[in-house]
Each structure stands twice: as C-alpha cells, then as structure tokens.
Amino acid sequence: MSTRKYFAEAIGTFWLTFAGCGSAVIAAGFPQVGIGLLGVALTFGLSVVTMAYAIGHISGCHLNPAVTVGLAAGGRFPTNQILPYIVAQVIGAVIASAILYLIASGTADFSLAKGFAANGYGDHSPGKYSMLSGFVAEVVLTAMFLFVIMGSTHGKAPAGFAPLAIGLALVMIHLVSIPITNTSVNPARSTGPALFVGGWALAQLWMFWVAPLVGGVVGGVLYRWLSEEPHGEVTGTQRQPA
C-alpha cells in the first residue's frame, strides 16, 4: 500500500509540474491567444483540484515537500513517511520537466534563457524583486497555504470541498507571487525546471527549498495551535473526523 502512495505522489506532482509549468512555458505568452498570468495561476490551481479528487484517497495528494513537512509539523502526517514522500514528489517533478523540455524544444524559438518556468529572485525575478522580498513572500504564502489545507481537511469542515479550497488558495498564491519569484511554494516544482536551466536557477534553488519548508512548518504549527480539536494522523486533502 505504501508503494502505491509513493507512485500516486509522483504522478500527482508530475501533473502539477507538467501542467503548471507547461502553461507558463508554452501558453502564457503565445502570440495573440496567450493565457497570461491569470491562466498560469488557474492552471496550477486546477492541477491540484483534479489530482486531489483523483489520488486524495490514495496518498492524500500532497504534491509538495512543504505540504508534507507542514502536515507533519501540524500533527497530521507521520514523520517516518516524510522522506519517501519528498523523494517521490521530486522524481515526479523532474520527469515532468524532462517531458516538458522535450515538447517545448520542438519549436525554433525555444530557449532555456527565457527561464523555463524556473523560480528566481533579483535579476531572475519577473519583477526584479530582491532575495529578501522573495524569501518573505514564499514563507508567508506557503504558511497560509498550509493553514488552508489544515482547515479545509478538518473534521468540522464541509465534506468534499477541501480540494476546491486548496486549489483556489494556490490560484490566489500565484496571482500574488508570480511577479515576485515566478511562484514556488513547492520545492519539488522548483527543482524540476532548475535542473534543466542550470546556472543561476540551481544557484538560487536553495531559497525555494528553505522558504517553503519554513512556511509549511509555520502554517502547520499555527493551525495546530489554533484548532480546538485534537488531531489524529491524516493526509493532505482527505477530510478527517473531528
């Protein structure tokens, strides 16, 4: 059963990275019919919604090392499962990036110099935001993401709506932070494109691990403290009994 959970996480993270980063690389700036920032934000959110309904009952549909660590910090996930979940998520993101590269490079004007949806700060931030701005944004937005996840999967939350709340939260996060860091809040999603871009993307990747993981822990601990109900062991998008 555990092996199936890891495969589910790899497939889910593959879908998030392929669809989300693919929308940015292929469709965001396409002449005349480009989907733009709003389209990219919606795609990332919809990737989570669709996978939450597809694999939430199998693995919890974390799709994100920061979510896995944050849920563990919030008492909702066993610590001995953190590492295998993260490994599966990163593998899924790397495979997605490889396939996206294969597809996107099939056009004459493709260039990794355009960023390949990698995350960055300073000169590599879409809006040229500083490292401090990017770090704070990633911590705060990941913390609030975990807060929404913890709350929407609580036993007293409306049943069946957690994937929608979580997906919409990710849309909102992207609408705020695409200009700042190209939006990470997910170390696995950041790692895939960075491996192909190399250079500056790999040099700055540390921040897109550290900041989301810190934010995940903050959000998980904050909701655990705020909630009046004790929590049993749970996973990502599954509704839990009170």
Structural domains in the chain (count): 1
Is the entire prediction scored with pTM above 0.75? yes
Q: Tell me, what's the pLDDT at 242?
A: 36
Q: What is the pLDDT of residue 156?
A: 75
Domain-located, residue 232: no
Supply the CATH number for residue 177's domain. Answer: 1.20.1080.10
DSSP state at residue 29: T
Residue length of the chain = 242
Residue entry with tokens 């937005």: 141
Closest CA relative to residue 95, chosen from 41, 43, 21: 21
Distance CA 242, CA 240 (A): 6
- Across the 242 residues of the chain, what is the mean pLDDT of every consecutive 10-residue run? 90 98 92 87 97 95 98 95 97 98 93 93 97 98 97 80 95 97 98 97 98 98 81 46 38
Domain containing 99 equals 2-226
Q: Is residue 30 part of a domain?
A: yes
**Residue 187 included in any domain:** yes
Structure tokens at 63: 């799709």
